[in-house]
């Protein structure tokens, strides 16, 4: 008679975590950083159709790394959640913290109960009427949530790229300086010289606190080129 196969809960969770981390590390990095008039998002993404950075609601945006189909499902669920909450109560009642908690529950449940965790890492950000009210939440594959200040880098080599961001970021950066820093961070290769990044290869967007209701806007390659020239 064959012995039943046993894996300790600790080993099972470790294996799932390793699996998720490997999947996320294969993704190209995303950087999210606060600037004087809002929150900026940037990532390497040659596709104009498959977005890694998206609007969720009036003043809330979403950025992700990992498996596209998995984070796209989460994005759609987030939009539905926000729309329903705004419709049932009031638009002002839709906030990033509640959305981050909803995502955390989903990610945590999948991680502990399903055979395969979601290979995704997310940022949910909300721009406030002044910088002190900005919110940036980072969510891991296991449902853990971190309240980030200033900036956050996700994806492959996040630690090394975060160190570069920490050196260059300060409160009150203007948008041109924030974009220059974002591109420098994304171009960083820890084991070699910085790579050349064409603006056509980048997906960039902002939550602009000066806009009246819908704060989210994408920055086209030509506009990014102009910004980078200003921030040089």
pLDDT score recorded for residue 1? 53
Q: What confidence tens digit (pLDDT) does each residue in 23-39 have?
A: 999 889 999 999 999 99
Tokens of 49: 């159709």
Mean pLDDT within 142-162 = 93
* Plot region of 155 (φ>0 → left; ψ -120 to 50 → alpha; else → beta): left
* Tokens of residue 164, six digits: 């570069």
- So what's the pLDDT on residue 66? 94
- Structure-model confidence comparison of residues 17 and 89, the more confident one: 17
- The label of the residue with tokens 């990033």 reads 96
* pLDDT at residue 78 tops 60: yes
Report the distance separating Cα 194 and Cα 114, nearest Å. Answer: 39
More confident residue, 91 or 59: 59
Q: In terms of Cα–Cα distance, which of 174, 188, 185 is closest to 231?
A: 174
Answer yes or no: is pLDDT of 88 > 70.
Answer: yes
Pull the structure tokens for residue 20: 């998720």
Phi, psi (degrees; rounded to nearest 5) at 63: -135, 150
Strand partners, 73: none
Report the DSSP pairing between strands 30-35 and 151-154. antiparallel
Cα–Cα dist 182/169, whole Å: 9
Q: Per-residue pLDDT for 6 more than 80?
A: no
Domain boundaries, the chain: 27-231
For β-strands 151-154 and 202-208, DSSP reports them as: unpaired
Q: 7: pLDDT confidence band, cut at 50, 70 and 90?
A: confident
Q: H or E element: which one contains 111?
A: helix 96-113
The pLDDT of 89-112, averaged and rounded, is 93
pTM of the shown model: 0.93
User: Does 231 have pLDDT greater than 80?
Assistant: no
Q: Which of 50, 96, 88, 87 is nearest to 71 (CA)?
A: 50
The CATH number assigned to the domain with range 27-231 reads 3.60.20.10
């Amino acid at each position: 008679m064959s012995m039943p196969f046993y894996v300790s809960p600790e080993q099972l969770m470790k294996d799932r975590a390793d699996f998720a981390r490997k999947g996320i590390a294969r993704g190209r990095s995303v950087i999210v950083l606060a600037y004087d008039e809002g929150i900026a998002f940037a990532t390497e993404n040659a596709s104009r159709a498959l977005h890694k950075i998206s609007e969720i609601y009036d003043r809330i945006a979403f950025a992700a790394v990992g498996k596209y189909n998995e984070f796209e499902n989460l994005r759609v669920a987030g939009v539905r959640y926000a729309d329903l909450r705004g419709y049932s109560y009031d638009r002002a009642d839709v906030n990033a913290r509640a959305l981050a908690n909803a995502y955390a529950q989903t990610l945590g449940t999948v991680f502990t109960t399903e055979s395969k965790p979601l290979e995704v890492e997310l940022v949910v950000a909300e721009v406030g009427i002044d910088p002190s009210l900005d919110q940036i939440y980072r969510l891991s594959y296991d449902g853990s949530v971190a309240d980030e200040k200033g900036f956050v880098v996700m994806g492959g080599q996040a630690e090394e790229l975060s160190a570069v961001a920490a050196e260059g970021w300060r409160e009150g950066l203007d948008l041109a300086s924030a974009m220059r820093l974002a591109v420098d961070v994304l171009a960083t290769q820890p084991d070699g010289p910085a790579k050349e990044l064409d603006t056509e290869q980048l997906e960039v967007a902002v939550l602009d606190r000066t806009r009246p209701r819908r704060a989210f806007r994408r920055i086209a390659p030509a506009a990014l080129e102009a910004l980078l020239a200003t921030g040089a």
